[in-house]
Structure 1
């Protein structure tokens, strides 16, 4: 007969693994639909973690081996057909447009999407610029846009990313 003592290393390893995994808070999803005349679609999830947000998902229907600007916009409104009803970039801190990895940028400035040879792009990153469910940087109810062109990260206020290929409203799960 085994004693509780025999299971202690296993129990300890499970307990340590649980402590090392940050607990997830609220989450939200953006179901990207193509704008008029385009084919891009996808799904992006925003998960609140302690002190940061995990952003992950996939976009399909892009031209193979292309780069696309990717931004959260002010309004959760995709009714215009061209995505313009989402307004400008989400910018609650009133910073200039820039790269998400740079020191100053809009909260809505996300890393660019890089389509592979089949026209699909995956995204998976963490950011302290956004929140899910509360506060001034809350993404819930905002628009999410995939642009036709790469973001140059310098042209104000949009990064010269061109037309809007896909649009979504970020909704709380």
Structure 2
């Protein structure tokens, strides 16, 4: 009789462990469905610019989070450029803005604009600029030439994007560059 009571008392524990494992498995599946990419920003054109830009794709949306350091106070343009090549000292090896749909340069979200026209980082006295946005216009390693950001570069410019000068917003020299690569950890 004692064995039966002990077994019955043990059942709720088994079910609670089972539910806990099920929830953990669901969370793991959700995390495995998310894709991540990162661009580590290195200084260019004699600047002290460094930082990191993280990308996370989930449910058809890509979230970008940028934290860039070593900038002068004010506005600095941030764009996606067409080539993931940051080998040149001035960052020009990254090519022009990523513009697979051949749109005029402009301000993000106000037509027309390149899908690489992210905008400006606002930098305070601490020399740090941050930016965060979500979009369905990009994807990570999806093999869609009009949306796939993998293998492109993030460029930080010395000045602000004026959102109208063609083809790049008259933002000045490239002071930071990082290739966008798929990542397993964000």
Q: Same fold (TM over 0.5)?
A: yes
Q: State the distance in 2 between where 1:36 and 1:57 align.
A: 20
Q: SS of 2:117's equivalent?
A: coil
The list of structure 1 runs, each at least 4 consecutive aligned residues, that deviate by more than 2 angstroms after superposition, is none
Question: Following TM superposition, by how much is the alpha carbon of 1:60 offset from its aligned partner in structure 2, in angstroms?
Answer: 0.2
- Alignment partner of 1:93 is 2:139: no
C-alpha displacement of 1:36: 3.4
1:6-42 CA distances to partner (integer Å, 9 max, x unpaired)?
A: xxxxx9xxx8xx99xx866211000000013101100
After superposition, residues 89-168 of structure 1 pair within 5 angstroms as 89-134=97-142, 135-136=144-145, 137-168=147-178
Aligned match of 2:61:
52
Consecutive unaligned residues in structure 2, runs of 5 or more: 1-8, 13-18
The number of residue pairs the alignment matches comes to: 159
TM-score, normalization: structure 1?
A: 0.84
**1:110 partner SS:** strand
Question: What is the match of residue 41 of structure 1?
Answer: 50
- The 3-state SS of whatever aligns with 2:163 is coil
Supply the distance in 2 between the matched residues of 1:108 and 1:131 (Cα, whole angstroms). Answer: 12
How big is the shift at 1:122?
Answer: 1.2
| More displaced stretch, 36-45 vs 127-136 | 127-136
Larger Rg: 2
1:70 aligns to what? 78
Q: CA–CA distance in 2 between the matches of 1:36 and 1:100?
A: 26
Residue 112 of structure 1 deviates from its aligned partner by 0.9
User: How far did 1:116 drift?
Assistant: 1.6
Q: Which deviations, in whole Å up to 9, do the C-alpha atoms of 1:97-138 show, x marking residues without a partner?
A: 111121221111102101122110111110122111111211
Q: Distance in 2 between matches of 1:39 and 1:118?
A: 14
- Calculate the aligned-residue CA RMSD, in Å: 2.0
TM (normalized to structure 2)?
0.79
| 1:6-21 mapped onto 2 (5 Å cutoff) | none
Distance 2:172 2:117 in 1: 14
- Structure with greater proportional helix content: 2
